[in-house]
Structure 1
Amino acid sequence: MAFFSCLAWLYVAGRLWQDAENRKVLTNLLYKNSLQRPKILTVEDKLTVLGCRDLERRIVEAEMELTLAKSQGYLNKQLQQSGSSSGKKLLAVIGVYTGFGSRLKRNVFRGSWMPKGDALRKLEERGVVIRFVIGRSANRGDSLDRNINEENRSTKDFLILEGHEEAQEELPKKAKFFLSTAVQKWDADFFVKVDDNIDLDLEALIGLLERRRGQDGAYIGCMKSGDVISEEGKPWYEPDWWKFGDEKSYFRHAGSALIILSKNLAQYVNINSASLKTYAHDDTSVGSWMMGLQATYIDDNRLCCSSIRQDKVCSLA
């Protein structure tokens, strides 16, 4: 009986030891599997996820509001405070497009409708800045750039667009560079683009702008539209003619000779210049930018330079 009792005890002890080892192995396997299985979210975890989603939604809404504010011409505080170099609110900045080979034209302007020297500074005291607008040569620092720098040191009446290459094929982009540079340099109610082939009645233009002062969203000019030229090689050819529909007609836009934008429209161009599409001509490019905005189109026949009106503001030079 003692012998059989010992055998029974050894058997039971062996089974218990084997079961303990099996339980240990199973416990390790279950632990490893639990690490690989998805975590069961508690109520607190679910609330955290919902909070993140709510925060993400509010971020998206804030970004949409910021985009809307930018589209309406609002700038960040730093840019708004840049203003003009004198800190004075101006009526207008007038940019006269010019080129490297147009020195004779510039001299003619300086002797006619455009003041020079002390008279130019007195005009700025009245709130009107006039500058010849030009980019840089494709070969930076060459004789073309040096001649412009030398002329500017003498006359101090240039706005040099450092990021713009002065070339005929780059002319549509010049409007973006001019408006972006001018709106950061001066705090003015209006920004005016003028071609170098017209003469201005400067006092009449100032009077026109004075009467419009404080009007946001003003897009002023000699409004026109016309056929889109789709035949390559013809004057005024538009490579993107197919974008203008079956009738191939341009939308309403201010003619190239003289274009006036209020401050908030110029700010819009500055903010969004990187994404604004340009077409073959600068006036249709500016017109396309205005189409998606709450701009007030002001068609003024006095700004039609080829008009026969006696009280016109500009005339062909």
Structure 2
Amino acid sequence: METLPTTTVTSSKSERRGRSSKYQSTSKPSVIMAFFSCVAWLYVAGRLWQDSENRVILNNMLKKNYDQKPKVLTVDDKLMVLGCKDLERKIVETEMELTLAKSQGYLKSGSSSGGKRLLAVIGVYTGFGSHLRRSTFRGSWMPQGDALKKLEERGVVIRFVIGRSPNRGDSLDRKIDDEDRARKDFLILENHEEAQEELPKKVKFFFSAAVQNWDAEFYIKVDDNIDLDLEGLIGLLESRRGQDASYIGCMKSGEVVAEEGGQWYEPEWWKFGDEKSYFRHAAGSLIILSKNLAQYININSGSLKTYAFDDTSIGSWMIGVQATYIDDNRLCCSSIRQGKSSK
């Protein structure tokens, strides 16, 4: 009977020790998990706080840079604001306005008269086989030597206009160079090949070269098959001085020759409509353009269309601009009227 309490007590203590050990083994992982959860929460909170601080700093920097942005926009700024298409449209419009301004007399060009504008530059068409005609002109209406310089002092420049031989540097080119050194009265078109079929292109090269070399009121193309009343021409030009957009000559129109092999045949006759009629143009051997019209040819020479003849080619270019057509019978030659009646 006395041993029973001892046995009972021992058993109770053992059970308490067992429960205590089980409780301790169960709560230990929970404490560890709670600890790591706290650490993770502190890490995430720290990162969020740091990101928030970075955003505040970045916003302040952007605002500061925006406030300090220059008033004049750069190309990149314009691309951002306007977009590529809108910017391209504005560039095209600006280029068109610039071309218009240049065609109206705002193109910088050289001047051979110390800054004073000349009255006229007269280009006399000539060829490699026209030495005799040039000699005839020099002995008649065209001054030579000192007389030519005095004429330039009056504001009139006269030059024989010629291109280069298809075989560059051959005897034809050398003869022209020698003649020019002796006479000093040539305008040699280095980029033009002298040939009969290239005459419509020659007129573009002439007006472009003349505008680039001399600042004048008028630019005149003259064939070498006429005798020129130089003083009468100077008087005509003096009366027209200051008239922009002047297109002066013996004005006419006429039938377009569509039969291949016929005189004055126009290979592109079909472009002139069912009536096959030329537009109004200055025909013949003498054509006068005011400064801004000659500049228009110079600026757009790369895209101007040429036809079979130089006078109709010039006439086609004048259709697209606000040219003032001036028909002067004094510039008409009866032989030319008869020979070019179809034009």
TM-score for both structures, normalised by structure 1? 0.80
**Which whole-Å deviations, capped at 9, do the CAs of 1:17-44 have from their partners, x for residues lacking one?**
9x99xx9xxx9xxxxxxxxxxxxxx9x8
Indicate the residue corresponding to 2:27 in structure 1.
5
1:27-81 residue CA offsets vs partner (Å, 9 max, x unmatched): 9xxxxxxxxxxxxxx9x8xxx7897218936545433322332343431xxx24x
> Are the counterparts in 1 of residues 248 and 328 from structure 2 also a CA contact under 8 Å?
yes
Q: Cα offset for 1:250?
A: 1.0
Match of 2:271 in 1: 243
Task: Kindly indicate whether residue 97 of structure 2 is the aligned counterpart of residue 98 of structure 1.
Answer: no
Residue 68 of structure 2 is aligned to residue 68 of structure 1: no
Secondary structure at the residue paired with 2:173? helix
Indicate the structure with greater helix content.
Answer: 2
Contact preservation (8 Å) 2:121, 2:210:
yes
Distance, in Å, in 2 between the alignment partners of 1:159 and 1:179 is 11
The equivalent residue for 1:265 is 293
| Larger of the two Rg values belongs to structure | 2
Q: Distance in 2 between matches of 1:150 and 1:214?
A: 38
How far apart in 2 are the matches of 1:107 and 1:170? 24
What residue ranges of structure 1 are gaps of 5+ in the alignment? 28-41, 309-317
**Are 2:194 and 1:172 equivalent residues in the alignment?**
no
Match of 1:126 in 2: 154
CA contact (8 A) 1:190 1:261 kept: yes
Q: 2: distance between equivalents of 1:266 and 1:260?
A: 9
More off after superposition, 257-266 vs 235-244: 235-244
- Which residue identity does 1:246 align to in structure 2? D
- Any idea what SS the aligned residue of 1:234 has? coil
For residue 273 of structure 1, report the CA deviation from its aligned partner.
1.1
The residue that corresponds to 1:52 in the other structure is 81
Alpha-carbon distance, 1:103 to partner = 0.5
The amino acid of 2:96's aligned partner reads: M
Contact 1:73 1:268 (C-alpha < 8 Å) held by counterparts: no
Within 5 Å, which residues of 2 pair with 1:251-290?
251-290=279-318
Q: Give the Cα–Cα distance (whole angstroms) in 2 for the partners of residues 151 and 50 of structure 1.
A: 57
Which residue is 2:11 aligned to? none
The SS at the match of 2:301 is helix
Point out the more displaced range, 5-14 or 161-170.
5-14
For the Cα contact (< 8 Å) 1:74–1:267, is it kept in 2? Answer: no
Quote the offset at 1:105 in angstroms.
0.9
Q: How does 1:80-159 map to 2 (within 5 A)?
A: 80=109, 82-84=110-112, 86-159=114-187
The two structures, once aligned, show a CA RMSD in angstroms of 3.2
In the alignment, is the contact (CA less than 8 A) between 1:301 and 1:307 conserved in 2?
no
1:107 to partner: Cα distance: 1.0
- How far did residue 146 of structure 1 move? 0.5
List per-residue Cα deviations over 1:257-297 (Å, max 9, x = no partner): 10000111111111111111111110011111111111100
How many residue pairs end up in the alignment?
Answer: 285
Mark the CA change 1:207 to 1:7 in structure 2 (over 3 Å): closer, same or farther: closer
Q: Secondary structure at the match of 1:275?
A: coil
How does the TM-score come out when normalised to structure 2? 0.74
Residue type at the aligned position of 1:193:
K
CA contact (8 A) 1:172 1:285 kept: yes
Please state whether the residue corresponding to 1:160 is helix, strand or coil: strand
- Following the alignment from structure 1 to structure 2, what is the Cα–Cα distance between the partners of residues 64 and 154? 44
Question: Does the Cα contact within 8 Å between 1:98 and 1:134 map onto a contact in 2?
Answer: yes
> In structure 2, what is the equivalent of residue 219 of structure 1?
247
Letter of the structure 2 residue corresponding to residue 258 of structure 1: L
Mapped partners of 2:153, 2:32: distance in 1: 113
Residue of structure 2 equivalent to 1:33: none
Alignment partners' CA distance in 2, 1:271 and 1:287: 17
Percent of paired sites with the same residue: 72
Letter paired with 1:214: G
**Aligned residue in 2 for 1:160:** 188
For the residue of structure 1 that corresponds to 2:334, the secondary structure is: coil
1: CA distance between counterparts of 2:241 and 2:78? Answer: 52
Distance in 1 (alpha carbons) for counterparts of 2:267 and 2:90? 43
